[in-house]
Each structure stands twice: as structure tokens, then as C-alpha cells.
């Protein structure tokens, strides 16, 4: 799992029927000290996250697991919303 911040949403007028009812969000991956790491990605949202929230997300095949038995083609999926985190020394 990785930590990121939702920085936008995706609006698609036409998409595969498997995505019906599924929200697509733009996520900026973050490092432990909350600095951006890498380029933003598009992720399917399974938890109802919104713009500005910090989230857990997964990459790869696991991104589609929350939507089982529907087969959603996804490279990244939001699986949790973070309330708070700290980094020890």
C-alpha cells in the first residue's frame, strides 16, 4: 500500500460498462513527510474519498479486488481514507 492525496476527479462521458457507478480520482503519491513522489495517477475509488483527502491506495491486480465479482480493469485503487499519521525516528 502507498499513501497519496486526492487532487482531482475524472469525468468520462463514455466508459466501459464495468465502470458504471465507480468513481475515478486523481491521486498524487506522497512520501512519509508528505512530499509529492512521482507523477499523479488515476485510481478507482472503493471507499468514497474526496478531493483533498489523504488515502491508502494499491497498485496492480489488487486494485480491482474491492469490486469483486465485477472485473474492473484498474492499475490503482483507493482502499482507505487516512485520518492521521506520524513518522517515528
User: In this structure, is residue 86 part of a structural domain?
Assistant: no
Domain count, the chain: 1
User: In this structure, is residue 88 part of a structural domain?
Assistant: no
pLDDT of residue 50: 95
Residue 71 has pLDDT above 80, yes or no: no
- Decide if 43 contacts 8 (C-beta within 8 A): no
Residue 16 pLDDT level (bands cut at 50, 70, 90): confident
Residue in this structure with the C-alpha cell 503519491, named with its chain if needed? 29
Highest mean pLDDT among 5-9, 33-37, 59-63, 72-76: 5-9
Residue 31 pLDDT level (bands cut at 50, 70, 90): very high
**pLDDT over 70 percentage in the chain:** 99
Residue 67 has pLDDT above 90, yes or no: no
First to last CA, the chain: 21
User: In this structure, is residue 30 part of a structural domain?
Assistant: yes
pLDDT of residue 41: 97
- Decide if 78 contacts 67 (C-beta within 8 A): no
Map residue 37 onto helix, strand or coil: coil
User: In this structure, is residue 89 part of a structural domain?
Assistant: no
- Decide if 78 contacts 25 (C-beta within 8 A): yes
Amino acid at each position: 500500500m502507498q499513501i497519496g492525496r486526492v487532487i482531482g476527479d475524472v469525468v468520462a462521458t463514455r466508459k466501459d460498462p464495468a465502470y458504471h457507478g465507480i468513481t475515478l480520482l486523481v491521486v498524487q503519491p506522497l512520501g512519509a513527510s508528505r512530499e509529492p513522489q512521482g507523477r499523479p495517477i488515476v485510481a478507482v475509488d472503493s471507499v468514497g474519498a474526496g478531493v483533498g483527502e489523504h488515502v491508502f491506495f494499491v497498485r496492480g491486480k489488487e486494485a480491482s479486488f474491492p469490486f469483486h465479482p465485477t472485473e474492473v480493469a484498474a492499475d490503482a485503487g483507493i482502499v482507505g481514507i487516512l485520518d492521521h499519521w506520524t513518522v517515528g525516528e
